[in-house]
Amino acid sequence: MKQNNNSNLRIILVVAISFLFIVVYSYFQKPAQVPEKTTQEIATPLTTNPAPSSLQAKNKTPDVANNTQALNTSTFDPNKIIATIKSKEIEINIDSLGRISQFYLKDKKFTAPKQEGLIDHIKRLFGFAKKPQEVITKLPLLGNDLPKPLEMRFSDIATNNQAFEIPYKASLDSIELKNTPETLVLTQNLNNLTIKKIITFYPNLQYDVKIEVSRLIPYVISSGMRPVADADGYAFHGVVLKDAEDKIEKVEDKKADGKSEQYIGAKFIASVDRYYTSLFFTKSPKGFDAIIDSEIGTKNPMPFVAFDGNAEFQGYIGPKNYKELKEIDPNLTDVVEYGIITFFAKPVFLLLNFLHSYTGNWGWAIILLTLIVRIILFPLSYKGMVSMQKLKEVAPKMKELQAKYKDDPQKLQSQMMQLYKKNGANPMGGCLPLILQIPVFFAIYRVLYNAVELKSTGWIFWIHDLSVMDPYFVLPILMGISMYMHQVLTPNTIADPTQAKIFKLLPVVFTVFLITFPAGLVLYWTVNNIFSIIQQLLINRMMEKKKALEIAEHKHSHNEDGKIQKEKTK
């Protein structure tokens, strides 16, 4: 019996330790914050590594590594805003180098300050709290890192230097974007080259780009470095690309290997953080030639698209909202990234999104999702719980076997297996449902953590944002209590007192580590525990009735045997 108790406990502890390991590992894998660059650095093209000669031989990919000379900033201010595009939801600034210098979101969903919690109130009560967060009217998405969106670089050094020393002229200095697309024309006249960027902006944050050059010349244009509006390190930060074979390529910040990687026929290239993206995509069946270069020093990936002459493509800057990206181009839904478990997390999100379309509230959608998961896993959960009940019933007989064969381990093991088989008990059955919950748990964790749809969305009363921790710790405490209650109701097959104490500590351990997790995730785990409690109560009652029926039948049979024996005696 002790051996099997050890097996059960080991499985449970492995699950708990794996859970804690992933939490701790994710925390220490947060990318280091890169200091913002000064104005002088912004005005200087960054050094990049040479592009491999495979595409250069076709005269299609310029050697952007030649763009290393400092700019003559005395001629003009490269950061001067020459055009502004505004709508109710966004604001876009275009600088004198024809780049998107900054992109602002103005929706309250993105500008709302973080909800203050219990600790903040206590600090305020004792005079230790800082002033309340200032309410911002617009959220800037882009940082100071180069390249900026729509920044062009040329392999010809002379042309490239001119391109960074001569300002663009805008057809309009201000555009009010309402319900229809609006077009802006940016023109740059170099000594031997005229460049036109014809940009059409749409209300859904998409923009179309048409590049016209007066002569055939190879160049690259960037979709920009990743947004910096959300610096949380648990999510993927870097460049995501979909190649010609629909394979997703990813290069994380700090992990670019210093080489330029080319992808012929790519469908999109995107710089992403947790919630936002700046990307280029094309609806052409041929795709475009995308390059992921490496920023010297930081080893951050830099995205480019290579052209040779005139070009047309599309762009997007904004939140990684699944539905909106799908409406723009179904390929763009792959920009929403959930880590190594994306293959499983994406269907979970689609189901959650479907439930939300009916409930209108993400909190209730999470509760319905939990119920569906419980129904799917019910057959295994039911078998596991019944097995635990049967193990409890055979526990006295197991102690007898242990006493009888204490000096013969092989015989003891054989007798135990026979006893399990005879009574239909499985010592591993109770752990199987818990193990199956783990991939579901992490899939839901990644969905709730990465889905911008849940940002600033409330549930009831004190929960105003399901994407961040419960500010008053109510859900984590309820989760711990419900986990403990489920432990109490579940038949205990652990005979060793030390092991039993360790097992009882698990609710406390999980509560502590889930305190900082998104409220939506803790809601899922709490509701899951409640459903488990209800299921366990029903099974316990069913087993009690079954046992009472067996006892009644046994008594009836015994009485009948007694009557027959009396009749024979007479």
Examine the fold and report which residue of 334, 365, 383 is the final residue of a domain before the chain moves on: 334
Examine the fold and report which residue of 334, 369, 391 is the final residue of a domain before the chain moves on: 334
- Average pLDDT over every residue of 22-42: 42
- Please state, in angstroms and rounded to a whole number, the distance separating the CA atoms of residues 312 and 372: 46
Q: Which of 161-175, 265-279, 488-502 has the lowest mean pLDDT?
A: 488-502
Q: Are 332 and 86 in contact (CB under 8 A)?
A: no
Within 8 A by CB and 6+ apart from 417, the residues are none
174 and 65, same structural domain? yes
- Helix (H) or strand (E) segment spanning residue 238: strand 238-242
Mean pLDDT of the chain: 80
Q: Tell me if 196 is assigned to some domain.
A: yes
- Average pLDDT over every residue of 537-562: 74
503 and 424, same structural domain? yes
At 461 the pLDDT is 80
Confidence of residue 424 (pLDDT cuts 50, 70, 90): low
Q: How many CB atoms sit inside 10 A of residue 142's CB?
A: 24
Q: Tell me if 372 is assigned to some domain.
A: yes
Percent of the chain scored above 90 by pLDDT? 40
- Average pLDDT over every residue of 62-88: 68
At 378 the pLDDT is 81
Q: How many CB atoms sit inside 10 A of residue 558's CB?
A: 10
282 and 392, same structural domain? no
Residue 272 has φ and ψ, to the nearest 5°, of -135, 150
User: 185: which strand partners?
Assistant: 198
Q: Tell me if 339 is assigned to some domain.
A: no
Residue 308, SS3? strand
- How many Å from the N-terminal Cα to the C-terminal Cα in the chain? 48
Examine the fold and report which residue of 334, 357, 386 is the final residue of a domain before the chain moves on: 334
- Helix (H) or strand (E) segment spanning residue 272: strand 268-272
- Please state, in angstroms and rounded to a whole number, the distance separating the CA atoms of residues 415 and 282: 68
Residue type for position 565: Q
118 and 19, same structural domain? no
- Average pLDDT over every residue of 314-336: 95
62 and 8, same structural domain? no
Give the CA count within 13 Å in the CB-facing half-sphere of 148. Answer: 26
- Please state, in angstroms and rounded to a whole number, the distance separating the CA atoms of residues 506 and 408: 34
Closest CA to 475 of 358, 363, 365: 363
Q: Tell me if 37 is assigned to some domain.
A: no
Instruction: Report the range out of 52-66, 129-143, 422-436, 456-470 with the highest average pLDDT.
Output: 456-470
Closest CA to 451 of 471, 465, 437: 465
Give the position of tokens 């990687």.
261
Q: Tell me if 525 is assigned to some domain.
A: yes
- Please state, in angstroms and rounded to a whole number, the distance separating the CA atoms of residues 225 and 303: 7
294 and 359, same structural domain? no
Of 441 and 189, more confident: 189
447 and 552, same structural domain? yes
Q: Are 521 and 514 in contact (CB under 8 A)?
A: yes
Task: Judge whether residue 318 has pLDDT over 90.
Answer: yes
- Please state, in angstroms and rounded to a whole number, the distance separating the CA atoms of residues 342 and 352: 15
Give the position of tokens 């002790």.
2
313 and 400, same structural domain? no
Q: Tell me if 190 is assigned to some domain.
A: yes
Q: What is the pLDDT of residues 395-413, one digit of tens each?
A: 777 777 777 777 777 877 7
At 121 the pLDDT is 56
- Write out the residue range of the structural domain in which residue 246 sits: 42-334
Where b means 16+ CB within 10 Å and e means fewer, 18-34 reads ebeeeeeeeeeeebeeb
514 and 379, same structural domain? yes
At 18 the pLDDT is 55
- Please state, in angstroms and rounded to a whole number, the distance separating the CA atoms of residues 269 and 263: 10
Q: Are 337 and 275 in contact (CB under 8 A)?
A: no
Q: Residues 208, 212, 213, 216: what is their CA dihedral angle, to the nearest 10 degrees?
A: 90
Of 311 and 466, more confident: 311
301 and 213, same structural domain? yes
| Predicted TM-score (pTM) above 0.85 | no
Residue 425 has φ and ψ, to the nearest 5°, of -100, 140
Of 96 and 113, more confident: 96
Residue type for position 255: K
Confidence of residue 45 (pLDDT cuts 50, 70, 90): very low
Task: Judge whether residue 342 has pLDDT over 50.
Answer: yes
- Number of independent structural domains in the chain: 2
Within 8 A by CB and 6+ apart from 174, the residues are 83, 84, 85, 86
Phi-psi region of 314 (alpha: psi -120 to 50; beta: other; left: phi over 0): beta
449 and 309, same structural domain? no
Q: What is the pLDDT of residues 492-539, one digit of tens each?
A: 655 556 766 777 788 888 888 888 888 888 999 899 899 888 888 887
Q: Tell me if 355 is assigned to some domain.
A: yes
272 and 165, same structural domain? yes
Q: Tell me if 36 is assigned to some domain.
A: no
Instruction: Report the range out of 5-9, 493-497, 535-539, 546-550 with the highest average pLDDT.
Output: 535-539
CATH code, 144: 2.70.98.90
